[in-house]
């Protein structure tokens, strides 16, 4: 009794597998490993960015070089999410007004070689925003199942502004999931239905063939409708006086001929097909390839979180990474981090923009004042003289033209 009560108590305690908020200066460099798979990976720097809610707390990893691949990862005590909820959460801020680049994380099994992490390294889950032009603005949720990556079938739209946003993925042990942005649900459902992870339950019966006499034509030509005889008209070439034998074309002896006025091809009218059986539906059978899996969500080893992405215009800041088995805890942490920062961050950006606008206005005013006060210099005077000369010439030409047109009139 006591023992099981203790277990119940222990299992109610949330597990915190990984938490990274970059609040201890440069120490993050001891926790995050940059891959050396390529020699030209872009550099992550620790910064709160151009505008923020808190200059210390809002420090995160920012991509600092344009048109680069980025590849860094952090390790934690490996775990399996079997029988438990798995929550992955982090914040993304595209303060550079991103045109094209990834903003997602990858969750790897513990056997990942971090020093050699690259785009083809086997991962469990890829989750987060991906933007490329106006056409791609989505939240990826890719699940690896038995060695194959499967993209979500639904279109989950991501945020594309310059502010910090909180992205949360929840996988439940009943094979359901939820995607949240800024602590609001934006998508949810079942792993089996929203991904093509398992083969379909039903397939078309390969034995079933449409019968030859199955009539799928809704309308057919009316067999009763007959092509009308062309009307006869009197022959304009008829020559009554011409007599046998025939020195003329035979048609000249006919008083009436078929009219040639009937143009276009004749088609019989259409009627409802009396033999119409409706569209033939291919019968389905249980798919022999299908086998149910109540643990699609399950990963036996989760041990590394990585940022493995490409960015055209750099400047994205990643922060507040959290991996836990407790969705409520994640929501609370989200409110304490992103929730606290979002409003002051916006305020700072708006005030920066206001200052920038005022500065530009002042500069514009300054330029106008300067132009007004400037004395005319020699160069300008020369230009004016040239202009006057030109006007005189043009005037003369116009006079000549006028004379010409008068001449024409006369």
Are 56 and 337 in contact by the 8 Å Cβ rule? The answer is no
Closer to Ca ion by CB, 21 or 63: give it: 21
The answer to the question of residue 187 lying near Ca ion (CB under 5 A) is no
- Applying CB under 5 A, the span of 15-23, 153-161, 259-267, 341-349 interacting with Ca ion comes to 15-23
Q: Which of 17, 18, 20, 22 binds Ca ion (CB under 5 A)?
A: 22
Closer to Ca ion by CB, 49 or 150: give it: 49
**Taking CB under 5 A as the criterion, which residues in 74-103 touch Ca ion?**
none
- Applying CB under 5 A, the span of 51-59, 286-294, 339-347, 375-383 interacting with Ca ion comes to 51-59
| Residue 270 is assigned to a ligand binding site | no
User: Could you tell me the maximum CA-CA distance found in the chain, to the nearest angstrom?
Assistant: 132
Contacts by 207-211, CB closer than 8 A, 24 or more apart:
208/282, 208/283, 210/280, 210/282, 211/280
Closer to Ca ion by CB, 108 or 318: give it: 318
Helix 338-373 vs helix 327-336: angle between axes, to the nearest 10 degrees? Answer: 30
Q: What is the DSSP string of 279-300?
A: PPPPPEEE-TT----TTTT--S
| Residue 213 is assigned to a ligand binding site | no
The answer to the question of residue 21 lying near Ca ion (CB under 5 A) is yes
Closer to Ca ion by CB, 84 or 93: give it: 93
The answer to the question of residue 194 lying near Ca ion (CB under 5 A) is no
Q: CA gyration radius for the chain? A: 40
| Residue 123 is assigned to a ligand binding site | yes
| Residue 373 is assigned to a ligand binding site | no
| Residue 57 is assigned to a ligand binding site | yes
114: helix, strand or coil: helix
Number of residues that bind Ca ion (CB under 5 A): 5
Shortest Å distance, C-beta 133 to Ca ion: 30
* Count of beta carbons in the 10 Å neighbourhood of residue 126: 22
Question: For the chain, percent helix, then strand, then coil, each to nearest 5?
Answer: 25, 30, 45
Shortest Å distance, C-beta 21 to Ca ion: 4
> Quick one: how many helices (H) and strands (E) in the chain?
6, 22
| Cα 249 from Cα 251, distance rounded (Å) | 6
Are 66 and 86 in contact by the 8 Å Cβ rule? The answer is no
* Count of beta carbons in the 10 Å neighbourhood of residue 150: 18
The answer to the question of residue 341 lying near Ca ion (CB under 5 A) is no
Are 315 and 98 in contact by the 8 Å Cβ rule? The answer is yes
Shortest Å distance, C-beta 340 to Ca ion: 11
Closer to Ca ion by CB, 47 or 172: give it: 47
26: helix, strand or coil: helix
| Residue 106 is assigned to a ligand binding site | yes
47 bridge partner residues: 60
**Taking CB under 5 A as the criterion, which residues in 58-77 touch Ca ion?**
59-60
| Residue 40 is assigned to a ligand binding site | no
Closer to Ca ion by CB, 22 or 44: give it: 22
Dihedral Cα 201, 207, 213, 216, nearest 10 deg: 20
| Residue 319 is assigned to a ligand binding site | yes
The answer to the question of residue 319 lying near Ca ion (CB under 5 A) is yes
Shortest Å distance, C-beta 94 to Ca ion: 16
Residues 6 or more apart whose CB falls under 8 angstroms from that of 329 comprise: 14, 16, 87
| Residue 246 is assigned to a ligand binding site | no
Closer to Ca ion by CB, 112 or 322: give it: 322
Shortest Å distance, C-beta 91 to Ca ion: 8
Closer to Ca ion by CB, 57 or 140: give it: 57
Chain positions contacting Ca ion, by CB under 5 A: 21-22, 59-60, 319
Binding residues for an alpha-D-glucoside, as ranges, are 104, 106, 123, 130, 308
Binding residues for Ca(2+), as ranges, are 21, 57, 59, 319
Binding residues, as ranges, are 21, 57, 59, 104, 106, 123, 130, 308, 319
């Amino acid at each position: 009794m006591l023992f099981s009560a203790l277990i119940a108590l222990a299992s109610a305690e949330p597990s915190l597998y990984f938490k990274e908020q970059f609040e201890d200066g440069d120490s993050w460099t001891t926790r995050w490993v940059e891959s050396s798979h390529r020699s030209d990976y872009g550099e992550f720097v620790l910064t709160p960015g151009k505008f923020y809610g808190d200059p210390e707390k809002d420090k995160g990893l920012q991509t600092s070089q344009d048109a680069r691949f980025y590849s860094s990862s952090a390790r934690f005590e490996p775990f399996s999410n079997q029988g438990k909820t798995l929550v992955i959460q982090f914040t993304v801020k595209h303060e550079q007004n991103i045109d094209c680049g990834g903003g997602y994380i990858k969750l790897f099994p513990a056997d990942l070689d971090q020093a050699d992490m690259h785009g083809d390294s086997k991962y469990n889950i890829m989750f987060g925003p991906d933007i490329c032009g106006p056409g791609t603005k989505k939240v990826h949720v890719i699940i690896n199942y038995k060695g194959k990556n499967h993209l979500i079938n639904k279109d989950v739209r991501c945020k594309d502004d310059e502010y910090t946003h909180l992205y949360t993925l929840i996988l439940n042990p009943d094979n359901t999931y939820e995607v949240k942005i800024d602590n609001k649900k934006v998508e949810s459902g079942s792993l089996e239905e929203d991904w093509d992870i398992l083969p379909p339950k039903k397939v078309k019966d390969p034995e079933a063939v449409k019968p030859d006499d199955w009539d799928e034509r809704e309308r057919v030509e009316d067999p009763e409708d007959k092509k009308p005889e062309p009307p006869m008209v009197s022959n304009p070439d008829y020559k009554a006086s011409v007599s046998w034998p025939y020195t003329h074309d035979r048609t000249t002896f006919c008083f009436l001929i078929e009219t040639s006025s009937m143009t276009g091809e004749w088609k019989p009218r259409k009627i409802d097909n009396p033999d119409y059986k409706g569209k033939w539906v291919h019968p389905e059978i249980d798919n022999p390839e299908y086998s149910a899996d109540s643990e699609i969500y399950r990963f036996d080893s989760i041990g590394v979180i990585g940022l493995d992405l490409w960015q055209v215009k750099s400047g994205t800041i990643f922060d507040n990474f959290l991996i836990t088995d407790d969705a409520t805890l994640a929501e609370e942490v989200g409110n304490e981090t992103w929730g606290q920062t979002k409003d002051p961050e916006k305020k700072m950006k708006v005030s920066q923009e206001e200052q920038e606008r005022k500065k530009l206005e002042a500069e514009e005013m300054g330029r106008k004042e300067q132009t007004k006060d400037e004395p005319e210099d020699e160069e300008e005077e020369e230009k004016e003289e040239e202009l006057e000369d030109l006007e005189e010439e043009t005037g003369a030409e116009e006079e000549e033209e006028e004379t010409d047109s008068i001449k024409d009139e006369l």
